[in-house]
Amino acid sequence: MLMKLKTTFTSLLLATAVVAPVKADEGMWLLPFLKQQNSEQLKKAGLMMDIDDIYNPDATSMKDAIIIFGNGCTGEIISSEGLILTNHHCGYGAIQQHSTVEHDYLTDGFWAMDKSQELHTPGLQVRFIDKIEEVTDIINKAVEESGDEMKAFNTAFLSNKARELAGEEFLAQNPFVEVVIKPFYGGNRFFMFYMTVYNDIRMVGAPPSSIGKFGADTDNWMWPRHTGDFSLFRVYTSPDGKPAEYSADNVPLKPKRYFKISLGGVQENDYAMIMGFPGTTNRYYTSWEVKEMRDIENATRIEMRGVRQAEMLDEMLADPAVRIQYASKYARSSNYHKNSIGMNRGIDKLDVIGTKERQEEALRQWSATNNHPEYIEALDEIKTVMEALAPINLAYCQLNEGIRMAIECSQVPATGALKKALQDKNYAKVDTLIDVLRGKYAQFANKDYSRKVDQRVTKAMLKAYKAAVAEGERFAIYDLIDKKFKGNIDRYVDEAFKTSIFASDENFEKFCKKPTVKALEKDLLVALRNAFVDKYQEIRAEARPLDERLTKAKKVYIKGLLDMAGDTPTYPDANFTIRLTYGNVLPYSPADGVEYSYFTTQRGILEKEDPDNWEFVVPARLKELILAKDFGEYALPNGDLPTCFLSNNDITGGNSGSPVINAYGELIGAAFDGNWEAMSGDIVFEKELQRCINVDIRYILFIIDKYAGAKNLIEEMDIVREYRPNIKHTDIFDEKAFREEMEKMMKEFYNEENLKK
């Protein structure tokens, strides 16, 4: 019996060592501090490569394969010929840009079978990070000399300082290099980034939206997922390898670094890290700021975008041309509409406000004990300012979400300078301003603008805004509607879209040929724009001094948190600068009796299929491959095809398209979403619940190879086919804690009663 007990105990220990989940090391970590702050934890989590190979300021490293894709996503280089992998939703605008009713790449997908078929995408840029420098002392000195503390947060001031530090001669010799300085830790530290910009980016491949957006709004932020959220682009350079504007003579980029791709797949507990450009987090928010986000910002967004999206979707479903025009606009709007719903749910369900209040009380106690009254004063100031800002922020959010973000015609071109030139009879200036107006009009009435949709949305949003905002607090367009249209919003909108100089190309050309002050003064859309701008400026002027007080108090508050943390590694809020997050491949349990696996397969695609619901249509070719189980080398050992997997990496918006990397630096997937149960993660990281949803690289390659037949793309990738363990299980546990647990278990097994037996 004693031997049996010993055997049981030993088996239990081994089982525990193998399957114990590894908690994520919360954080979006700055690359220059990885060795100093994260070296030990990276190895414990399972990293098998040298940290210098992740980031090395003096040599090529993994950082050099990561790019800013467009204006708000991440991408990675996956071949020696500059091939880019990012999300489908990140490439969505470019895919839409190339789509027409005749060539509907959103619906049908697009694949270049050789480089001559790749499509130049005007306006699309990518940026590589060349160098990162800390400039805290320099900025602090310059701010002190200026006598204005707010200079530290002034974009123009920081931009000028960056140019000064880089040197005008250097920038003149390197026209495709950008330099930017950004504040971190609430303005307590500053870093400068050198970036090389590439302007010749070509679309290479994109699955149809039925794959790339499978599940659409319903599945957004949800698990399990079966979405092939990826697209492919390529960077081109001049023949000498330098950044250049588009030219038919340009050649594919020869990158400093690119990712090898692993077909080994993932297993539970495998190490996983993500490098990318997380956009914005608010981990240093106070309880009062969280309440404002929940009750004002998110609540207003939920209400207003719900109205707008219903009107847009009806028009999109009724007209294929409108669907293409508004696909990207609708996707952006609905993404953060659902995000706000989930975040408010998480704030309440996970007691985020209570967590913040306990953190604030801890700082008060620590400050009192350690003689730091300035941190207590900062907390009191934040509370006072947030209470004063509440009604101002509500007015701003209502105007922003109800009018600016929703009603496109509220952003018609400005005509104030033209009106004054006409009044002054300065006809030379009038001619110049008319040329400027033509350019602005072309930007406004572009190919993705539908007056029919805007007219319908304008009616709905003016009514929604009126219902939400008390009389006397609305912007002045309602005075005009009451006076000239007896309060009838529909009549006002119909007349505006009939008579305004911006209501049609014909109206605009007629005005440009014979511009008059009278035409501008009676124009109903010009009146809408001017009334909106006046109210916006009024609100911002009221908020500005309070915002400055809040910024100064937050800087002191965050310094207090850093002082209280002492030597404990800390990370700054995300601000769309390059970061690393690391953790492991893990399942999770969102509720009692609910257990989610860490991966999905093709089985779920057919389980979700609904030919009558545009969100869950399965393309015929994909269904044929699934039914035949024709998955090639991308299949699991049991014959299934992996589609997506979970990791507990700490990500947010901006990380979309980021590479998911195994312990050896190989690509295993692309991050594309977070999970519904932890939508408050931008404010507080939830260790047990927060998950990153990733599309498995094997599903990506399957779609490229077996579905699209684009073997030319597969052939240019460097593919590693064997699986290697991604975690060092012996490094999981803290030794002291492990020994204590062992002693406890031994006492339980080797008690007096068992020994007698």
What positions carry a catalytic annotation? Answer: 89, 229, 656
Token reading at 145:
């000399």
Q: CA 47 to CA 489: how far, in whole Å?
A: 62
Q: How many CB atoms lie within 10 A of CB 434?
A: 15
Degrees to nearest 5, angle at CA 290 with 286 and 295 = 150
- One DSSP character per residue, 285-329 reads --HHHHHHIIIIIIHHHHHHHHHHHHHHHHHHHH-HHHHHHHHHH
Q: CA 501 to CA 515: how far, in whole Å?
A: 10
Nearest residue to 707 (alpha-carbon basis) of 600, 637, 626 = 626
463 and 487 Cβ atoms separated by less than 8 Å: no
Q: CA 581 to CA 648: how far, in whole Å?
A: 9
Residue 159 burial by Cβ neighbours in a 10 Å radius (0-12, 13-18, 19+): middle
Q: How many residues does the chain have?
A: 757
Q: CA 442 to CA 505: how far, in whole Å?
A: 10
227 and 646 Cβ atoms separated by less than 8 Å: no
123 and 200 Cβ atoms separated by less than 8 Å: no
| CA dist 283 → 342, 359, 479, 560, 679 (Å) | 17, 12, 42, 14, 13
Torsion angle, alpha carbons of 720, 721, 724, 727, to 10: 70
Q: How many CB atoms lie within 10 A of CB 243?
A: 22
Q: How many CB atoms lie within 10 A of CB 188?
A: 16
Q: CA 179 to CA 130: how far, in whole Å?
A: 10
| CA dist 200 → 118, 122, 540, 556 (Å) | 11, 8, 38, 44
| CA dist 44 → 20, 24, 38, 274, 390 (Å) | 13, 11, 10, 16, 45
Tokens 């010929």 -> residue: 81
646 membership: H or E segment, kind and range: strand 642-647
| CA dist 472 → 205, 390, 395, 572 (Å) | 53, 18, 12, 42
Q: CA 562 to CA 249: how far, in whole Å?
A: 53
What's the one-letter identity of residue 76?
Answer: E
Residue 602 burial by Cβ neighbours in a 10 Å radius (0-12, 13-18, 19+): buried
